[in-house]
Structure 1
Amino acid sequence: MTSRGAKYWSSGAIPLIAPEMLGEIIATASDISIVISLEGKILSVLVNAGHRAHGQLDHWEGRDIRDVLTEDSQPKLEAKLTLFAGGSESAKPVELNHSDGENWDFPVRYSFHRIGPDGRVLLMLGRDLRPIAEMQMQLIEAQMALERDYETQREYDTRYRVLSEATRDAFVFVGTRSGRVVDVNPAACALLGASRNDLMGSPIAQEFEGRRRAEFVEALNARALDDTSEPIQAEARRSRTPVKIVPTAFRAAGEPLILCRIDPTETGESVGSGMSETLTAFFNEGVDAIVFTDPDGVILTANESFLGLADAPQVSSVKGRSLGDYLVRGGVDLRVLVENATRSGQMRMFATKLAGEYGAQISVEISATYLSDQAHPSIVFVIRDASRLEGVRRPGVAVSDDAMRSVMELVGSATLKDIVAETTDVVEKMCIETAVELTRNNRVAAAEMLGLSRQSLYVKLRKYGLLSRDGSGD
């Protein structure tokens, strides 16, 4: 360029350009250039030689530009043509979608420029938007792929959490470098005697007696690399439970971890395992109903014999319910059973009636044993069907021979009214004595069992000279 041309650019003027070079410059400056009249007729089409994605568009010349636009782009063009026809100018570009053929369309951003001596010719300089549109589609697809991966991760995380909560195996995830607990399931929390919040992030070595962090982590790594070695023997510091640890090394997201499966060490393994199988078979197949409850009498599990007595379809229908729901006297009987079993460790041959799911009642005898495990105390009820014995038992309340003899001696020396009153007093006294004995002198429970108020029971105790018994039981 001459010094004269340089002065044109510095002064803001445009240097003179030869006509034969103008078309080449316009075609090179844009991806596609179209010269149209104000009526929309295409006068000329120039395509950038380095951008041949459009192909040859010479067949557009002489056609109405509306014929090569999609329906949604035609109103945008009409607005521009109306603006220029009114003598106004607009430098704002417009995005138009071309359509030429059945399945071929592409977006272009055009800037409009008035040219020609009378200004009735417009030059449309276009930039192909397909690379941007393709980039946007790739971004959308990447976003959708991320969403799918996120949902998949959430699904796997949910499965892991459910499995962690439901499994009976105790396991702890430990960071190999830090030696700290990364995750722990509820079974491991119960075995180690600590809550999840206390274990998370704490050194795993401090949960076992006499273990140092570095040495313990090295032992876990060595055992994880050698499948033939024996499990690591240790004792849980909080629960004082002997355990054996089986570690497995792996990597997750590049982070080395150790999965520690923790099992309680069984003492007397040969005898204990055989006895455990025998007791399990007795529980499942025994003729007497057996029910395990928590200290409040809420059913934890029951065998098939109890389901038969209670007319219950399956174990899940009775789990979580109170045993008192199946006793005719409800909470009164349950309180007597639970309090006596908790206080003395057991209670034998408690006679009552069991009510089934559909109201059927059956006479039973219940024995209760309190299992005083510090971590999970429970009560075992053995319930025996006593309905066959009802036929051989004499009806009514059993009366002692001395009481019967004293009543018979009244015949001839007292009126029938006095004899009945005396008999009533004898039976009433025996019932009160039995209730007080069953409740271990718990007079609140005895009053509920007899259907009396607490004040009425005290009156009758005073009447029959029973207040002198040791302990109030209140």
Structure 2
Amino acid sequence: MKLFKTARKSLGGLDAKAIGTLLATAADITLILDATGVVRDMAIGNDALAADLGDVSGWPGRPWIDTVMTDSRPKVEALLHDARSGEATRWRHVNQRTVAEAALPVLYSTLLLDGDGRVAVIGRDQRLVSSLHQRLIDTQHSMEREYARLRHAEARYRVLFQLSAEAVAIIDAISHAVVEANPAAEQLCGGKSLAGQSLLDSFHGADAAAVGSMLAEVRFAGRTSQVQARLGVGSAQMLTVSASPFRQDRAALLLVRLLPGEGAGRAAAMQPSRAGMLRFAEDAPDAMVVTGQDGRVISANAAFLELAQLDAEEQAAGQPLERWLGRPGLEFEVLVATLRTRGAVRLFGTTLQGEHGTAVEVEVSAVPLAHRGNLGYGFAIRDVGARLAPRAAGGPPLPRPVEQLTELVGRVPLKELVRETTDVIERMAIEAALQLTDDNRAQAAEMLGLSRQSLYVKLRRYGLGSDGDGDGDGED
């Protein structure tokens, strides 16, 4: 401890009141004890600390040790002993008892004032420090739990990777060097260790180039692909080699699966016809889309991307098809309901909305697709706008939604047809009322005999205009 060099000269003129003010200002809490450790006076310079301590008017006349929690009593005794012995006291963490019997952390130090044994106790509020310390401990425990979870997950992965009967290898996406391969993959490739070697070295010379091209395509396209190839270990066995990209520790890696057996043989035998069908679907002038049971796009051909005004298939993947096809919440539901009940839909008339707002008249044919127990749907979408344009000049046809629903008579149950028809009529009536009132919602609601709130609900349901309940009703 470094003290004032000229304390008598610098502080000699201070009276007791000035010294008391100095102590109260410098510390959060100051206690003056007599030789027996009883509180004779006190000052609290921290209003927040005073509020949390509660009523401390009973402290003077009580031993200081009786105002702290039981676990802090030895620390108080040590502080008093150090002060009375004239030794420099170190700061000690004491849990001060509040009126509500709660523990409030205070950092205390003591100082012997005079020969009569009076002791000054200086305290600093430690609630913020204790809170930060507790948060640090909680964060550390959370990290330890997360590390344990990751260790367990890695252990399970190791067991599955090593015991899997399917040949799997992890390779570097650039050099094609094997980072890790499971025993099934090493057994398939001649029983040798593959780590550090190029995976292409395990294939027949002519097929190694095909595998390398496929791996390069996966790396740059960022999606799974596969190719048929033969191993170069003296066997004519055909394998299906598939690769999927992923990143780990900022490194680009590929997960490669080697699938031998009759399944690969059949796939190779069927490859020419299947490849021709796939090329037709990809290059067809009509839009082709495959979705899951939830209606989200799995794959789409170039014609659909052109109609939907998209640049790449990745922009459509995972998105609901009704984002582009049909009117929201109405026609697409009718289409899917028909697929579920009838099993197929032919020439369903609707519209397809592009990303940039361009709408075209289309006809949709669709069938459900089942693959490995999972249900999805396949859609063929044809642009018929040019064919329908002359028809409009010959007289007013039925409104498109009504015409579509009448085409479903005999295909879907009457109950479902009535429900869909009611929705169509309700939507058309709302659209007509909004058009007649120049989009004045208050007047449209009055014309339809609805409350404004009911009209807002129906507008949201059918996706008409903005769904705000504000005052933007177009009133003059």
Give the TM-score of the pair, scaled to structure 1: 0.47
